[in-house]
Structure 1
Amino acid sequence: MARQISLDDTARADDPDRDAARGDGTMEVLPDLAAQRLAIVNIAFAGPPQAGDRTWVLIDAGLFGTAELIRSAAARRFGMASRPAAILLTHAHFDHVGVLATLADAWDVPVFAHPLEHPYLDGRASYPAPDPTVGGGLMSLASPLFPRGPIDIGERLRALPEDGSVPALPGFRWIHTPGHSAGHVSFWRDADAVLVAGDAFVTTRQESIYAATTQSPEMHGPPMYYTTDWPAAAASVRRLAALAPEIVVVGHGRPMRGPVMQSALKELAANFEEVAVPKHGYYVDHPARSENGSAYDG
């Protein structure tokens, strides 16, 4: 097990009392940014509330069976008839695209992802198999049962712009942060140092079903069982830590802010190989950098 890098509730970027009152897993981070917890994973809503149709975006698309939870939260936040301008993906693992096709069709919107994720979104390829031998928790042990795709969203799929801009989300830019997957990206806003990090790093020990359920706050590298290129993952965390984000929204764990979070992220970046990389594991020695890369087979 990796050494724990502690966080605590003083670093939370959400308001637990206010958010609990909603009862839908939504966590208010900023006036124009919220996350929604869907069991073991978070999605994000970005854009001004109640500003009208096509004025906001959804970041990632949750687990299978959560479409109505997402649509209900979006309706409360943006208006009953309001649809997003786009769906943005940090990456295409099953817990981030579970209801992607359903939502994209219902809202009639394009889906933007890094080109290296497209094989998993257009029916061409399945992800490399997870490694259940790393991480030491029930989520890791169960990972061979998780869907690996591909899914096929057809003509809705688009590539993120090469200039780093983010469609329908002015002020943000996307940053390629591979390691957890080849085409993983994070979204960054310079004006207020806000980072939507996906699974480049997380704020709970995602390998453990208990930690993933209770959301005990800790700073961790990307979920071990799905990370297929550890040198790239280390470089990505260091790139993000160098930005000195003030607020982070992650794919697993609670949104975090402020000096405690920043210190923990710097510690993770400085000691990534010691605290985040498994001591043993297939992808430690055999990185898979694309759909054609090496894959764990047990």
Structure 2
Amino acid sequence: MTSLVAVAVLLAALTHATWNAIAHTIRDQLVAFTLIAGGATAISAVAAFFVPLPHAAAWPYLVASALLHVGYQALLMRSFSLGDFGQMYPIARGTAPLVVTVLAAVFVGESLDAWQGAGVAVASAGLVGVALWGMKGAKNKPQWPALVAALATGLSIAAYTVVDGVGVRASGSPIGYIAWLMIMEGVLVPAYAVYARRGQLLAQLRPHAPLGLLGAVLSMLAYGLVLWAQTRAPLAPVAALRESSIIVGAAIGTVVFKERFGGPRIAAAGLMVVGISLMLYAS
């Protein structure tokens, strides 16, 4: 992993945590994801006229990824509606890199050296474990519905990361791949919102439109950078480094949403730094 790729992935982490925070800020999650998905679709539809069409070999991966992304969005909406941003985001993001490591080894034939493997394990297992340790609801019991939704979100992230890592390499055009992915995945959530909110949707969207459209731009930038990085470096280290967004997410949860940071999240941030350092040392 070169310095340029590392910087791109870190920028993607920052923008990803920011658009997720925007989505969490809009309390009506269907409105939030309708604006973000719909805005990204509109931008991508324009961009598609100016970028090369992905190669034929990439289209099966595009279809699979679009379906996985819709499932991811539904699970993310559910987890944000059930729990704190500062806890749901680390759990969802932290489960993905370890799963990506296994899937990349099985389906893509990638292997990690000892340092990279240690970095992925420390960054992922430590963060997930600490996030779960600090997750308590009423009567000091775990919030199991929120926990299940966040973990399922992490599994969906791992699945689409591997699918897109293979697909973008076969596409011949990372920009074309991201444009068509956003078009294919972005129409379903707004279509459902039109059906579910019958005649009320425009009035519900209007107050949040500027913030939601900003989230759309940031979401495209975040994933576009990751897809480009996946053409320049192995999937597992890119996936793990991207999860430095957990540090940003914990900070946003504390500063913006006034959620208690506490010892567990400080430890989580420290473990992520150690994991990233191990991965970059090995690259």
Indicate whether the TM-score tops 0.5. no
User: TM-score, normalization: structure 2?
Assistant: 0.29
Structure holding more helix per residue: 2
Quick one: higher RCO (CA 8 Å, sep 6+), 1 or 2?
2
